[in-house]
Amino acid sequence: MVTNQPDVARGTADASDVKAINLLIAETLQLDGVLLCAHDDSDKCFCRKPAPGMLMEASTRWGIDLQRSVMVGDRWRDVEAGRRAGAYTVFIDHGYNEPRPTTQDLTVSCLLDAVPWILVRLSPNGQDTLS
Ligand SMILES: [Zn+2]
């Protein structure tokens, strides 16, 4: 999981609380790990999505082939970070009142709806069998 947590930089969330929440998510979902950006846009870091820094770091750390990966998110920043990293992208549209992405490969209303598409896309011949 890669997550923007600008509330830390903005002083509206405590870094240790954010870390504890993400650790609980990682344990509950049995994730390999969580990469977190605690910066804000003004920091101009390489990790805050839409920058692809956390995806590049995950690729290095866990040996992930980004061109055979799917970035799933519910914000335009997630989709753009995935695109910049060279991954397929899925946008989960929760109807947030904010700019919507336009470059995603798939739009769904919940993660479950994306699972068949992801499984085909990541199968050995997925690129040949999808229309
Ligand atoms: Zn950052």
DSSP string covering 56-67, please?
Answer: HHHHHHHT--GG
Interval 59-68 mean pLDDT:
96
Mean pLDDT of the chain: 94
Q: pLDDT at residue 129 above 70?
A: no
CA atoms within 13 A on the CB side of 3: 14
Strands (E), the chain: 2-4, 35-37, 70-73, 88-92, 106-108
Distance 76 CA to ligand 1 centre (A): 17
Cα of 42 vs centre of ligand 1, distance in Å, is: 10
Q: How confident is the model at residue 128 (pLDDT cuts 50, 70, 90)?
A: very low
The pLDDT of residue 122 is 87
Span from the CA of 25 to the centroid of ligand 1 (angstroms): 20
How far apart (Å, rounded) are the C-alpha atoms in residues 112 and 120? 14
Phi, psi angles (nearest 5°) of residue 42: -65, -20
Q: What is the mean pLDDT of residues 88-117?
A: 97
- What does the alpha-carbon distance between residue 87 and residue 73 come to, in Å, rounded to a whole number? 12
CA 127, CA 130: separation in Å to the nearest integer? 6
In angstroms, what is the span from residue 82 Cα to ligand 1's centroid? 16
Q: Over 60: is that where the pLDDT of 53 sits?
A: yes
Per-residue pLDDT, 127: 57
Q: Is the pTM of this model over 0.85?
A: yes
Mean pLDDT across 8-33: 94
Report the percentage of the chain scoring pLDDT > 70: 95
Ligand 1 centre and the CA of 10: distance in Å? 13
**Element of type H or E holding 115:** helix 111-121
Residue 29 C-alpha to ligand 1 middle, in angstroms? Answer: 24
Rounded to the nearest whole angstrom, what is the distance from the C-alpha of residue 51 to the centroid of ligand 1? Answer: 9
